Each structure stands twice: as structure tokens, then as C-alpha cells.
Chain A
Amino acid sequence: MSHSYLQLTQVSIEFPTDNGPYIALDNVNLAIAEKEFISLIGHSGCGKSTVLNIVAGMHQATRGGVLLEDKEVNQPGPDRAVVFQNHSLLPWLTSYGNVELAVKQVFKQNKSKPEMHDWIMHNLELVNMTHAKDKLPSEISGGMKQRVGIARALAMEPKVLLMDEPFGALDALTRAHLQDSLMDIHSNLGNTVIMITHDVDEAVLLSDRIIMMTNGPSATIGSILNIELERPRKRLDLADNEQFNHYRAEVLKFLHEKQTKIAA
């Protein structure tokens, strides 16, 4: 029996195509501890999202599998909440309504109406969005939408928070702001997080470990980098921190020397 919180064992997945099966992932092994912050980094098309989708239960591994607290993952569920890249808020519901949908579904048995309301407001507060609780997604900025998306995921009280390039579509300043918020939330709540990113700085700043993936087909884990920077981390202090820059260089080397994408 494995004793890690989240365990990926020999995960492989094949997609049927007209030219025979396409092996997207091959033999991915990863043990994640509780409260750990993990980043998946790699070139596009390397199967990062597929790993996340398998953990989320959206895809089923062809071989191998995922255990969360020693239970097999075989379908999506709110214990593995997903923050999608393009926020995926329901456009006809307000910020409050979007979080409410999740809260009502997850806590319908064990929270009373006022408790639910408090819990919704609490989660909107975590991401500083209480001022826009009655706004529709079309009325708020991209960064704000992503904040609501995070609030919705957090409100499910997930065992693992899965984030698929959560800040990929945002401008640099907004992204930095949201990264700081995420660091705060992570240090306060101690969530276990798996985040996909393309951004080397983001990966080093936020993660405990960076999982670097090789290029597909048959993508797998190329290398794992432990980030032993003191928390809480401050963006400005780290800017000329030698260790930080070393980690950055390590990831960049992996991406641009060992795994140069041929037809980029």
C-alpha cells in the first residue's frame, strides 16, 4: 500500500486514432504529499493537461492508476476541484451564483442555508471578490473571473486543487497579483495543489516541487526539481536571490536544452 496522499502509479494513456493508438503518456510515477504545491511544466502538447485530467477523473488511464488517500480515482468529483484556464464560469450566474452552485451541490446535506451563505461569502472574501458578488462574469475583468473560479474551487473544500494554467490568459501584472493571492491562500489553508504552467518564474515562485515533462508522444516525467526556498516567499526579495535564479536556470535548461521542441 502506498502511504502518500496522492499517488500516480505507472500511469499510461493511449488515445485511439485512425493510424492506431497514440500513446500520450507513458509510465508516469509521482507521489505527492499532503499540502504540497506541485507544478507541471513542459512544452505544449507534452501531456501536462492529460496528467491533470487523469487526476481529475475526466480521463481514465489505460494502464496504471491514481490513488487519493488510498482510494482509486475513476470519475470526476468535488474532492479534486479544477480551476480551468478560461475560468469556465457559468455566464448567466453572478459571481455569488457561480460559487453557490458548487456549495449547494457539495454541502447540500451538511450545511444549512445561512451556513452556506456564510461559506460562499467566506470564499469570495478569500479571493477579494465580495465587492463584485452580484456581477455577471461578462461584467468583470479576466483576473476577477479567474478569482471567482478559484473561489468556486476552494469552496468545494477539495483534497487536491487542480489548476490548468490558471493565469495563462492574464496580463503580467494581474498574474503577479493572483500568484501572490494564491500563495497567501495556500499558506493559510494548506491545500494540496497541482498546477500546470508555462511560466518558469511562476513555477519556481509557487512550488515545492517542479515536475518537468518530456515531449510527447509517450511523454513522461523527465526530471523533478525540489524548490527549497523559505516560505513565505516575496517576489521582490527573490528577484536577485541566487538560489531562485539557480532554480530558474535549471528549469530553463531542461526546457530549452534537453527538451527542445523540434518543430516549434
Chain B
Amino acid sequence: MLTTPSIKASLLKLESTETMSFYKKFRLPGNTGNKFIKVFIIPFLAFLIFLGLWSASASRIETSLGKVPGPTQVWQQTVSLFNEHIAERKKENEFYLRQDKRNAKKLEKNPDAEIKIRPYTGSPTFIDQILTSLYTVMTGFIIASLIAIPIGIISGLSHTIHSALNPLIQIFKPVSPLAWLPIVTMIVSAMYVSSDPMFSKSFLTSAITVTLCCMWPTIINTSLGVSTIDNDLINVSRVLRLSWATRIYKIILPSSVPMIFAGLRLSLGIGWMVLIAAEMLAQNPGLGKFVWDEFQNGSSNSLARIMVAVFAIGLTGLLLDRVMLLLQRKVSWDRNAVIR
């Protein structure tokens, strides 16, 4: 057992050369050298402890929708949501099969008969909603990137433009998606009037809100990457008399690619967070709407289903981040930079 004086004595020693041996003696289990334990066992144990604490505390809280669900109920709902998805797909397939058969029969009787092909109108399943969310966030994110990277480059190249844009960027950067959403909704309703719309209004509203909230880190990082380019590289391009376009394309862009991707990764993370809120209010058929509908539904399973959505949102966000990380590692020429 460590008593207080002995800790004090050890801490005093810490300042001398015995630092290492102190850590070796009293190191926490996390500091062991074994990589397998570090990578698998420790996170697994931590997860088990988390499940235990969750399970123990959840059953003590009583809400109007019953007890707060523990891990077991959430797992049951995960399975049930997945089964619903399978069942729905089966129904859809059967619907199309029946329709095809009916049409085939009609054509057999009368080759000139008018046949109707109706789309299946079942409700979207949980999996469909994840896919819709992904599609929406990627749309918003790609629009944001297409706007943010050029703006970032221009503002990185010119001090004047940077000082003109910087206050605006700083003002708009912290704005919550919930503040943008009503404005975007009104503008989309006013501007996007079409008898045969390609996209639903709720989709556009959500995607544009994502764009508005997630373009800032990309602008800031791109601008920083461009403006901090090594002066020697600029001198090289001057000696070579590279044209303006070639200089941007061959020197400035490649040099700031690592920073641009660092910004894109931040942007996508923000975009995913923003999307859930946007979908909830815009009623875009994605994860946000799922959470809202379950909340309104108020069945005894609702809370457990919302928690499934929480995990799905978290895991999808993690997945998106890992994909961006892979891309970032791939395009980064700076092998010394530690990217994590």
C-alpha cells in the first residue's frame, strides 16, 4: 500500500533521474508494453464496465415511457429493427413480383394493354434511414467542400481578401444549425418551386444546413495551408516563371493538400453532428427524423430504439472519420506528420 508520505517521497524522486524506474514500479495497467492487451483487452474491459454501469443505473430511473432501457433492451431493439428491415425488403420484393406477374398476364391476354408500374410505398426502415442520412450529409459536405476550398485558396493567397472574409467567417462559424434551419427552410420553399421536384424540400433544407455549418473548418484550414506555404517553394516557382494557374495547380495546391484534408475531416465530423438536428426539424427521412418520430410515438420501446439510433449515429460518425483519415493519410506527403 502506498501511504501519503511514501507518495511524496516518490514524487520527490521523480524530479531526479529515477523517473523511469518510478513509472516502471507503479505504472498503471495501461502502460504495459503488451500491445494486444492495450489494443483489445483494455478497451473491451472498459466497454464492459460501461455496460455494467449503464445497466445498473438505467433500471433505477423511471420515466413516463417506463424504465430507461438497459443494454439488453437496446440490443433487442437493434435485432428487431434489423428484422423489420429484412421483412420490409421481403414485402417490397413480393410486391414487385406480384406487379410483374399481373402485368405479364395482362400482356399475354392483350399485347397492346396499358401496363402500370407503381413504386412500392412502404415506410422506410431503420437501415434506409441511415442510408438517407449518409446521402444527405455527403451532399451537404460535397457542396460545402466545393465552396470552401476555392474560398480558402483565394483568402490564403490574398491578405486583402483574408482580412475581408475573416470577420464573416468568425461570426458564422459558431452559429448553431437550429438557427440556420428556419431561414433555410423559408428560402428553399420560396426558391425551389417545381411541379416535378428532383429532390424533396426536406432533403434540400437538411443538406444546405449541413453545408452552412460545416464549410468553415475547411475554409480556415485551406486558407492557413495556402498562406503558410514555404517561401522557398514560391521562390522556386518564381525562378521557373510558372504562370499564375500553374503555380496554384503545381505548387500551392499540393503543398496545402494535407491542411485541406485536415479541414475536410473536421468539416465532415461537424456535418454529421449537424445533420441529425437538421433532419429532426426538417423532417428529412433520415436518422434525425427516426429519433423524433420515436420520441413522438412514445411506445414502451421508443427509448430503446432511440438509443439504437444513438449508437448508429456514433458508429457511422466514427466510420466517416476513419474513411477521411485514410484519405488524409493517402494524400499527405508529409511523412513526418503524425495524423491521428
Contacts and interface: CB of A to CB of B under 8 A. Distances in A.
A138 interface: yes
Given A101-B250, A138-B335, A138-B336, A88 B235 contact: yes
A6 to B, nearest CB: 16
Given A88-B230, A90-B254, A101 B333 contact: no
B233 A90 contact: yes
Interface in A130-151: 136, 138-139
B334 interface: yes
A80 to B, nearest CB: 7
B241 A91 contact: no
Contact of B333 (A84, A91, A105): A91
A56 B336 contact: no
Interface string B314-338: 0000000000000000000111100
A134 B220 CA distance: 34
Interface string B181-205: 0000000000000000000000000
Contact of A102 (B240, B254, B335): B240
A106 interface: yes
Instruction: Tell me what chain A mostly uses at the interface: helix, strand, loop, or mixed.
Output: loop
Interface string B216-253: 00000000000000101101101111100010001100
B206 interface: no
Given A101-B250, A136-B333, A138-B335, A88 B233 contact: yes
A58 B238 contact: yes
Contacts of A101: 240, 250
B255 A92 contact: yes
A257 B285 CA distance: 83
B246 to A, nearest CB: 8
B242 A105 contact: yes
A50 to B, nearest CB: 14
A57 B239 CA distance: 8
Contacts of B334: 91, 138
Nearest to B257: A92
A104 to B, nearest CB: 9
A194 B238 CA distance: 19
Contacts of B238: 57-58, 75-76
A86 interface: yes
Contacts of A139: 335
Contacts of A138: 333-336
A106 B233 CA distance: 17
B160 to A, nearest CB: 20
Contacts of A58: 235, 238
Contact of A81 (B239, B250, B251, B333): B239
B170 to A, nearest CB: 29
Contacts of A205: none
A90 B241 CA distance: 16
A84 B254 contact: no
A76 B333 contact: no
Interface string A81-110: 110101010111000000001100110000
B330 to A, nearest CB: 12
Interface of B: 230, 232-233, 235-236, 238-242, 246, 250-251, 254-255, 257, 333-336
8 contacts: A56-B239, A58-B238, A76-B238, A82-B236, A88-B236, A90-B233, A92-B254, A101-B240
